[in-house]
Amino acid sequence: MVKPKFYDLNVHSIPDGKNTPQQMAALAKHLGYTGIAITNHSSTESKPTGFESNGFETFRGIEIVSNNPSKLHGLIGKYRQNVDVLTIHGGNESINRAAVENRNVDILAHLPTPKDSGLNHILAKSASANNVAIEFNLDFIFKGHGGRRVHTLSHFRKNVEIARKFDVPMILTSNAVSYFDLRAPREMIALAGLFGMEKNEAISAISTVPAGIIAGNRPKPGFIREGVEEIVEKVDIVNTSEDISESEEAGWSN
């Protein structure tokens, strides 16, 4: 049986986050990932970063932030050819709709609106037709407390059911802004069970779905986009006492 390759396609580094891309990549590799995407917000105007180091790849990404659908389409056109992962920061009904109706979008993140879970059968049909993945950002569970966490789990459970019904790609991310926010794949998979994901769905959401996004945008094996730097030197990271076995079977919690 082929061992899954795991990816986290929503990771933030300086200036969005607290650590450098190299530090985030080094710890992610230690935790058992094959690659991550640095998806800093478009509002920071930071240059998308990508590199490869010792078999681990950091993909160039962007998380586009806009409250205007017309402006959103312009930003998608601006960034699409320069990144491997293009994510839209949702949470607004019109932005959620504009994102799932655009084939150039890879992921719709932060779906919930002040009114609901941010996904309905109409949006789900568009997302499925345009192959836009729906994100389940586990940062809301890691950092949420009390009512906020309850609402998050409720929204996620509803979105899982809708995505499953309409065959919408689902993706798990950490939304890490620090290397302390990164979580091992087995922990991500186990937590997905709290809001109704089956084990095979959770594994796919952190392996084959993100891998498919990368493959679709970088179809040639070994291809390195212009401007991507290959890093060969070793990167030092903070020590961690957690003993992580990449081959350990993921614990499962319903």
Q: Are the C-beta atoms of residues 103 and 129 closer than 8 Å to each other? A: no
Q: What is the pLDDT of residue 58?
A: 97
Query: What distance in Å separates the CA atoms of residue 29 and residue 8, rounded to the nearest whole number?
Result: 11
Q: What is the pLDDT of residue 2?
A: 79
The answer to whether residue 72 is domain-embedded is yes
The answer to whether residue 25 is domain-embedded is yes
The answer to whether residue 232 is domain-embedded is no
pLDDT by 10s per residue, the chain, length 254: 678 999 999 999 999 999 999 999 999 999 999 999 999 999 887 788 899 988 899 999 999 999 999 999 999 999 999 999 999 999 999 999 999 999 999 999 999 988 899 999 999 999 999 999 999 999 988 887 777 889 999 999 999 999 999 999 999 999 999 999 999 999 999 999 999 999 999 999 999 999 999 999 975 555 454 445 554 444 444 443 344 344 444 444 44
The answer to whether residue 14 is domain-embedded is yes
The answer to whether residue 120 is domain-embedded is yes
The answer to whether residue 206 is domain-embedded is yes
Q: What is the pLDDT of residue 247?
A: 40
The answer to whether residue 100 is domain-embedded is yes
Residue 178: CATH number of its domain? 3.20.20.140
143 is in which domain, residue-wise? 6-222
E strands, the chain, in order: 6-11, 33-38, 51-53, 56-64, 85-89, 107-109, 133-137, 170-173, 229-230
Single pTM value for the model: 0.85
Q: How many domains does the chain have?
A: 1
C-alpha dihedral sign at 246, 249, 251, 254 = positive
The answer to whether residue 80 is domain-embedded is yes
Strand-strand pairing, 56-64 and 51-53:
antiparallel
